[in-house]
Amino acid sequence: MSIDSYTPCPGGTGKKIKFCCSDLTGEFQKLFRMVEGEQYQAALGQLDGLIARYPQRACLEAIKATVHVAINQYEQAEATLRPLVERMPENAQALAQWAVTLAHLQGPQAAVEPLQRALENCVDKNMPFELAEAIVQVGDLFAAHGDVLAAFGHWSLRSRIEPRDEKVAERLIRWQRSEEVPLPLRDDVAFRPPPDGAEWTEAYNEALRTATRGLWRKACDQFAAITSSAPNAVPVWQALATLRGWLGDTTGYVAVLRRLATLDVPQEDAVDAELFAQLLDTTREADDVDQLTLTFEIRDVDIVLERISADKRFLLDKNDPRYFSRDDGPPPRSAYELLDRPELPADTPSADVTADNLPSMLGLVVLFGRETDRPPRVELRTLRDASLDDTVALLRGVLGDQIDGEPSETSQSAVPRELLLLEDRRWYPKNISYDRRSELQNELRRHAYLEKWPDAPLGVLDGKSPREAAADPAGRIRLAAHLRDLELTEHSQSDAFDFAPLRELLGLPQPELIDPSTCDVRSIPFARLDRIDVEKVDDRQAYSLFFRLWAGNHHAALRRLIPVLIERGTFEAARRDASDAAASEGEPTKPMAQVATWQACVVMAHTLGASTAALDWLEKARAAADEVGVSNAQIDLDEIQLRLRRGEAAEFTRLIEHLLSAHGNERGVREAVFSILTETGLIRPDGQPVQGDFAMQPDMDTSAAPDAGESSAIWTPESEQTGGSKSLWLPGSD
């Protein structure tokens, strides 16, 4: 690591070493060599001696703080930086280092004030490298704490500062495609333009310029000032809420949106504001159901085992018993799913399975033998819901005189009451077809929404039922927003439930289609894009709209758009036009024009889960790929995932054999097949087949298997895997 008299001062003074700390040039070189050799303790010892000889030298303090952070000594780093920041309150580099240190010690919210102060002190100056990096690190810590909005704001700011930063671009892509991020929050348009002729346009644009430079605190003040003269200016309130969210001020974010929802604004703007507020509101009272464990001491474990084994309502769980241990003691003897009635025979024809004859799961029964300091026991792991008494009575009836005394009780994490209301807890026979199972689940879903949900008290509605909220003018906006949240969540997987009858039942207005010819499609909020009248989208709008929806994993909108574009031939026309234009100008084809029809068919299949419709779209993809002479190996890999989820062993095996015989020599195919077989437990990592039973089940867990689509997990610092050696960057070494 070279350093000379013209290197910037490591202390963030803004001067070159020659004009600031030339007497320490030799010491810097020694320190940097120590750090390069990861001799951190030696470097700290050297720094302590230098600071004693040269007190209050920002360069030495900054280097010392950096070394402390490198070895996770954040308290020592904070103690080093605090006096430096107090002496030099406008030192952007020191403020940035301090922000990162505080974020690790107290949480990312503590970093916001010094980070904003650093940005404010960099106006019309070169931004220190440390500050640019601090923005990313604070964003990472917000993501790790689950604050996706603040994380996005910080990553976006870093991307504007350095658009070529590939790691930040990857964070933003993962964020926008993550199923962990609520769909409305994946919006790629942060600020809406003011309406034509608005008197406050100039002030709005000035505040927007401030915000885009990262001066979010100052921009908040500017936007707030506009609301005093334009109280119903929706884009201003939305911008103010966005900046509050980026600053990690969730309470302020929710308050601004709730204020907007009460103003004299179009109802859909009020509903959207309330929707966003509900997504991040952490102050409302929890409406949860406890998960609990009731522990019954028993007299004779063998007698209990005999009684349980004889009762067909107890189904032996074939997982390793150690999976059910909750402490360091011996594993249980066995575990059982407890049903309210015996399960249907495995060979029950799918057509004979109905919602009425399916048993429901009541809980998990875990049997432990005698231990050195504990008698044998049975644990009932269940929910504190309306069925608890009946569940306990069932277990008591089976165990009878083998129960010794009253059970002890412990509570685990809670489950949202509304989730349980809508959850399917039926137990399906092993050989039921995927399609029949999906049909029954959809039937039960409709029944839950239309028959149970309207009269269930909900915490999000302040304890009122949806029917009660619909009758209250003050509650209708909140109800409409929550219903929209449920709709977007449901439709991220499929269109199984149509919410129109539910809105009609509650007397709520139906969302209207958006005519794309009357507005700028690019400015439509992301959560509304499933309402675009796709028949009226022209090709110029359609292609950019497709990419926006694909980037944000907006499945509901993609399901409406893609069939229309394929029927028009939009994708192939765009490719031909782009290729012709590129050939005439001697330029490569634009990336946006490189989506083929077969690829659009695959995207469509990805939006349809493991349904028959998804398989049909993969067949269309194959036909389209064959027309242009493209290998369909990737399509086959996609179908393997679907067959696995559907529990269709014969088709799964056929596709594996086809891939290996027809595409085995293509790059990556054998590796992908091997990965699928190992992750699903069919072969061991050494390539040997697994001995024992392996039965495919519909909806079996394929989370470990590689997905042909993009990763949907949100990036966090812990999830990033880096290879190679890691060197410590020091102030002034760039």
Strand partners, 293: 381, 410
Tokens (6 digits) for 103: 């974020």
Report the C-alpha gap between 433 and 648 in whole angstroms: 9
Residues 275 and 292 occupy one common structural domain:
no
Residue 412's H or E segment, with its range, is: strand 408-416
Question: Percentage of the chain with pLDDT > 70?
Answer: 90
Give 622-631 pLDDT, tens digit per residue.
Answer: 999 999 999 9
CB < 8 Å & 24+ apart, contacts of 464-473: 466/506, 467/506, 470/506, 470/507, 470/508
Q: Domain containing 205 — which CATH number?
A: 1.25.40.10
Write the CB contacts of 650 (distance below 8 Å, at least 6 apart in sequence).
none
Number of C-beta neighbours around residue 537 at 10 A: 23
Q: What angle do CA 279, 281, 283 make, to 5 degrees?
A: 155
Q: Residue 7 falls within a domain, yes or no?
A: no
- Is 340:359 a contact under the CB 8 Å cutoff? yes
Q: What backbone phi and psi angles, to 5 degrees, belong to 439?
A: -60, -45
Identify the domain boundary among 457, 477, 506.
506
Strand partners, 696: none
Report the C-alpha gap between 512 and 518 in whole angstroms: 14
Q: Taking Cα atoms as reference points, which of 543, 549, 602 lies closest to residue 568?
A: 543
pLDDT value at residue 329: 80
Residues 136 and 227 occupy one common structural domain:
no
Q: Residue 729 falls within a domain, yes or no?
A: no
Residue 149 pLDDT greater than 90, yes or no:
yes
Residues 413 and 324 occupy one common structural domain:
yes
Report the C-alpha gap between 503 and 449 in whole angstroms: 11
Give 58-99 pLDDT, tens digit per residue.
Answer: 888 888 888 888 888 999 999 999 999 999 898 898 999 999
Report the C-alpha gap between 92 and 13 in whole angstroms: 9
Q: Is the dihedral of CA 359, 362, 364, 365 positive or negative?
A: negative
Place of tokens 């137990």: 427
Buried b (16+ CB within 10 A) or exposed e, 72-100: ebbebbbebbbebbeebeebbbbbbbbbb
Tokens (6 digits) for 587: 């330029």
Q: What backbone phi and psi angles, to 5 degrees, belong to 364?
A: -120, 130
Residues 622 and 593 occupy one common structural domain:
yes
Q: Taking Cα atoms as reference points, which of 394, 407, 449 lies closest to residue 424?
A: 449
| DSSP SS3 for 459 | helix
- Is 175:715 a contact under the CB 8 Å cutoff? yes
Q: Residue 8 falls within a domain, yes or no?
A: no
Q: Residue 543 falls within a domain, yes or no?
A: yes
Residue 40 pLDDT greater than 60, yes or no:
yes
Domain that holds residue 571: 520-638+653-664
Q: Residue 646 falls within a domain, yes or no?
A: no
Residues 416 and 475 occupy one common structural domain:
no
Q: Would you give the DSSP letter of residue 292?
A: E
How does DSSP assign 308-348, residue by residue? HHH-TTEEE--S-GGGG--SSSPPPSEEEEEESSPPPPTT-
Tokens (6 digits) for 128: 């220190």
Q: Residue 697 falls within a domain, yes or no?
A: no
Lowest mean pLDDT, pick from 167-181, 217-231, 576-590, 664-678: 576-590
Residue 288's H or E segment, with its range, is: strand 288-297
- Is 64:27 a contact under the CB 8 Å cutoff? no
pLDDT value at residue 691: 57
- Is 648:434 a contact under the CB 8 Å cutoff? yes
**Count of all residues that appear for the chain in the document:** 734
Report the C-alpha gap between 689 and 714 in whole angstroms: 34
- Is 134:66 a contact under the CB 8 Å cutoff? no
In one-letter notation, the amino acid at residue 529 is L
CA 73 to chain centre: 30
- Report the pLDDT averaged over residues 210-224: 97
| DSSP SS3 for 619 | helix
Write down the mean pLDDT value for the chain.
88
Residues 439 and 491 occupy one common structural domain:
yes
Q: In the chain, how many domains are there?
A: 5
- DSSP H helices, 127-215, are 129-144, 148-161, 166-177, 201-212
Report the C-alpha gap between 234 and 244 in whole angstroms: 15
Question: Percentage of the chain with pLDDT > 90?
Answer: 65
Identify the domain boundary among 237, 264, 280.
280
Most confident of 334-348, 589-603, 678-692: 334-348
**Residue 372: pLDDT band with limits 50, 70, 90:** confident
Tokens (6 digits) for 591: 């990336």
- Report the pLDDT averaged over residues 565-570: 91
Residues 359 and 488 occupy one common structural domain:
no
pLDDT value at residue 728: 47
CA 612 to chain centre: 27
Write the CB contacts of 278 (distance below 8 Å, at least 6 apart in sequence).
460, 478, 481, 482, 485
Q: Would you give the DSSP letter of residue 299?
A: S
pLDDT value at residue 537: 93
Give 159-191 pLDDT, tens digit per residue.
Answer: 999 999 999 999 999 998 998 899 999 987 778
Place of tokens 């990805």: 606
Buried b (16+ CB within 10 A) or exposed e, 401-411: ebbeeebeeee
How does DSSP assign 690-705, residue by residue? PPS-----TT---TTS
- Three-state SS letters, 82-119: HHHHHHCCCCHHHHHHHHHHHHHHHCCHHHHHHHHHHH
- Is 720:144 a contact under the CB 8 Å cutoff? no
Q: Residue 542 falls within a domain, yes or no?
A: yes
Report the C-alpha gap between 303 and 319 in whole angstroms: 23
Q: Residue 184 falls within a domain, yes or no?
A: no
- Report the pLDDT averaged over residues 605-615: 94
Residues 46 and 128 occupy one common structural domain:
yes
Residues 174 and 236 occupy one common structural domain:
no
How much is the pTM? 0.85
Question: How much of the chain is in helix, strand and coil states, percent to nearest 5?
Answer: 55, 5, 35
Report the C-alpha gap between 475 and 264 in whole angstroms: 16
Residues 416 and 439 occupy one common structural domain:
no
Residues 39 and 167 occupy one common structural domain:
yes
Number of C-beta neighbours around residue 226 at 10 A: 24
pLDDT value at residue 582: 61
Residues 166 and 234 occupy one common structural domain:
no
Identify the domain boundary among 280, 312, 331.
280
